[in-house]
Amino acid sequence: MTAALGLGALIGILLGLLGGGGSILAVPALVYGAGLPLAAAVPTSLLVVGVSSATALLPRLRARQIRWRIAGIVGAAGAAAAFAGATVNRLLDPRVVLIGFAALMVAAAIRMLRGDTEPGGDCALPGGGVNWRGCLPKSVGVGVLVGFLTGLFGVGGGFLIIPALVLLLGLPMPAAVGTSLVIIVINSAAGFAAHAGDATLDYRIAAAFTAAAIAGSLAAGRLATRLPAQRLSRAFAYLVLAIAVFVVVQAVISPPPI
């Protein structure tokens, strides 16, 4: 139970500070830290991440750092795709999929560190408007990709949503973080619905994990609104790289528990 509290707080801090990253750590934390089987860890992770992300939104509501229409489009497309991802999850070798996904994470992190993206874009024009003719198909595409991966891996997808919002849709980092949290809530709810029947949940561990994550996300969310966008962007990129290394090591050395 102590491990669940500590790991839950860490995941909440990552979600509140960076708008993502905590979700991909939740499954290994629940499996290796709290001792849950993988079938129970996946829906528990989605429950914890969804609730703590909703909590982390509160400080950003006052700061008006959320693009609601983009969040709705990406989230709705992702919710439908999450069920397809959950179906594929039951068919594929998790080692192969995780290694390929880690490579995608590395590519996204390197692009963010290099800064090889134009500021703004169809979804964030210089004057603050949106060119929906270009933004709508991009938003739907991002939503389908992230939602599919949410169902496939049992994660909220923030570690991929933020690079997509910044690099593909052109949102500034503060808006990308806030918008990501809304999308994570939607995707987590859909993913939980897709996985909920796979195993019986340990609600005692889930409650402790969630309570700690909520506390961490609230504390970190207040701090994040005061940090420079460039520092947040670089911190998130380094976090994605670290997670990618962790995923590869676990996939190669230790087969995922069933």
Q: Where does the pLDDT of residue 214 fall: very low under 50, low under 70, confident under 90, or very high at 90 and above?
A: confident
**Which pLDDT score is estimated for 4?**
65
Distance (Å) of CA 225 to CA 84, 90, 109, 157, 186: 35, 39, 22, 21, 22
Query: Is there a contact between 34 and 209 (Cβ–Cβ < 8 Å)?
Result: yes
CA–CA dist 73, 130 (Å, integer):
13
DSSP 124: B
Q: What is the predicted pLDDT for the residue at 146?
A: 81
Collapsed DSSP state (helix, strand, coil) of residue 121: strand
**Angle formed by the axes of helices 38-63 and 203-224, to 10°?**
30
pLDDT tens profile 137-159: 999 998 998 888 777 766 656 67
The answer to whether the CB of 27 falls within 8 A of the CB of 41 is yes
Which pLDDT value is given to residue 3? 64
Q: Encode 146-176: b = buried (16+ Cβ within 10 Å), e = exposed.
A: bbbbbbbbbbbbbbbbbbbbbbbbbbbbbbb
Q: Which domain holds residue 136?
A: 2-253
Q: What is the pLDDT of residue 255?
A: 56
* Domain count within the chain: 1
Which of these, 181, 221, 187, lies nearest to 20 by C-alpha position?
Answer: 181
Tell me whether residue 91 is in a domain. yes
- 258 lies in some domain: no
Six token digits for residue 193? 């619905």
Angle 168-157-109 (CA atoms, 0-180°, nearest 5)? Answer: 55
**Angle at CA 243, nearest 5°, toward 39 and 247?**
50
In this prediction, residue 21 carries a pLDDT of 61
Closest CA to 213 of 3, 1, 14, 2: 14
Q: Is residue 181 part of a domain?
A: yes
Share of the chain above pLDDT 90, in %: 4
* pTM for this predicted structure: 0.74
- Which tokens is 163 given? 């690079």
Backbone angles phi, psi at 91, to 5 degrees: -110, -25
- Most confident among 4-13, 25-34, 190-199, 200-209 (mean pLDDT): 200-209
Name the DSSP class of 21: S
- Model pLDDT, residue 208: 85
Mean pLDDT along residues 206-229: 77
Question: Could you tell me if residue 151 is inside a domain?
Answer: yes
Question: Residue 73: its pLDDT value, please?
Answer: 93
Q: What is the tens place of the pLDDT at every residue in 69-103? A: 999 999 899 888 888 887 887 787 767 767 777 78
C-beta separation of 13 from 219 below 8 A: yes
Residues 6+ apart with CB under 8 A from 98: 153, 247, 248, 250, 251, 256
